[in-house]
């Protein structure tokens, strides 16, 4: 199985800050990496797919990059509505494992 | 509009069984691969398993912790996905989400999600 290492597990930042979350996989997965966000009490939603493609309706302050084993989710200017937990997920091979998650809070 | 609605959650004793359902609408269910994901209270997301469409073989894959105890099936005539849960353990306590699998940009994604149903395993 492919192991996922996501960091940090929690992050506190101010409105307007640039925020970066990283995800590393135990083997190369090309660009088979997706990011989801989950607001408290709600189901997760797809944010970025294929490492860098923005899901329809997602603000352009979100971006993704990387390939192989190292990936990054960036929020260019943090907004209050971005408070959520963020998860990376690989779909290179089943089981489609998730990262441990990053809980993002406003400072 | 795509809708996924889970049902069947509840309280069950350790060693017991439960069957979850996921009613799908708004897309061609029979051609869509489907998956279950769970989330223990206060924890992250755990992939449970997936089922391919019948024209792709209808086969299933599972995460190691649930293999042999949880099984996924589908009834395309009812646009419904199932998760049969047997020999339940306290560590199976979680919200269970069903999700559709789509291929976007050449990559498999969990494209749409239900609202989840809570399963509590406790004596």
Q: How confident is the model at residue A72 (pLDDT cuts 50, 70, 90)?
A: very high
From the list A36, A50, A97, which residue is nearest B107 (CB)?
Answer: A50
Band of residue B96 on the pLDDT scale cut at 50, 70, 90: very high
**What is the CA angle B23-B121-A91, rounded to 5?**
55
Compute the mean pLDDT over every residue in chain B, rounded to the nearest whole number: 97
Torsion B85-B63-B122-B40 (CA) sign: negative
On average, the pLDDT of chain A sits at 97
Q: What is the pLDDT of residue B93?
A: 98
Chain A, window 67-106: residues with a beta carbon less than 8 angstroms from a chain B beta carbon:
85, 87, 89, 91, 94-101
For residue A58, the model assigns a pLDDT of 96
User: What is residue B77's predicted lDDT score, i.e. its pLDDT?
Assistant: 98
Distances (CA, A) of B118 to A101, B7, B10, B40: 20, 9, 6, 9
Nearest CA in chain B to A95: B63
- Per-residue pLDDT, B45: 98
Specify the pLDDT at position A61.
98
Q: Mean pLDDT over residues B32-42, rounded?
A: 98
Q: What's the pLDDT at B100?
A: 98
Cα–Cα distance measured from residue A61 to residue A73, given in angstroms and rounded to the nearest whole number: 10
Among B97, B104, B113, beta carbon nearest to A50: B104
pLDDT at B20: 98
B75 Cβ contact partners less than 8 Å away, ≥ 6 residues apart: B82
- Residue B61 near residue B68 (C-beta atoms within 8 A): no
pLDDT for residue A99 = 98
Confidence category of residue B37, pLDDT binned at 50, 70, 90 = very high
pLDDT of residue B23: 98
**Closest Cα partner for A72 from A23, A26, A31?**
A23
DSSP labels, A9-67: SEEEE-TT--EEEEEEESS--TT-EEEEEE-TTS--EEEEETTTEEPTT--TTEEEEEE
Q: Are A19 and A83 in contact (CB under 8 A)?
A: no
CA distance A59 to A13: 18
Answer whether B47 sits within 8 Å of A89, measured CB to CB.
Answer: yes
- Return d(Cα A48, Cα B67) in angstroms, integer: 29
pLDDT over 70 percentage in chain A? 100
Are A90 and A3 in contact by the 8 Å Cβ rule? The answer is no
User: Which of B52, B99, B109 best probes binding to A when mutated, by most A CB atoms within 10 angstroms?
Assistant: B109
């Amino acid at each position: 199985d492919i192991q996922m290492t996501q960091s940090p597990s929690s992050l506190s930042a101010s409105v307007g800050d640039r925020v970066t979350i990283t995800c590393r996989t135990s083997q190369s997965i090309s660009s088979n990496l997706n990011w989801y966000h989950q607001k408290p009490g709600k189901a997760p939603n797809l944010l970025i797919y294929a490492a860098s493609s923005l899901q329809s309706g997602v603000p352009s302050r979100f971006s993704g990059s990387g390939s192989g084993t190292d990936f990054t989710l960036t929020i260019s200017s943090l907004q209050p509505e971005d408070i959520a937990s963020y998860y990376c997920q690989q779909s290179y091979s089943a089981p489609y494992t998730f990262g441990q998650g990053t809980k993002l809070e406003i400072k | 509009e795509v809708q996924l609605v889970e049902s069947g959650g509840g309280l069950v004793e350790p060693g017991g069984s439960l069957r979850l359902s996921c009613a799908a609408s708004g897309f061609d269910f029979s051609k869509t691969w489907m998956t279950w994901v769970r989330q223990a209270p206060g924890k992250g997301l755990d992939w449970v398993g997936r089922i391919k469409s019948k024209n792709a073989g209808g086969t299933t894959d599972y995460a190691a912790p649930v293999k042999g105890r949880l099984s996924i099936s589908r009834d395309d005539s009812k646009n419904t996905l199932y998760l049969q849960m047997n020999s339940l353990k306290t560590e199976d306590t979680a919200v269970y989400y069903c999700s559709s699998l789509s291929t976007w940009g050449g990559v498999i994604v969990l494209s749409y999600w239900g609202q989840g149903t809570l399963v509590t395993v406790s004596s």
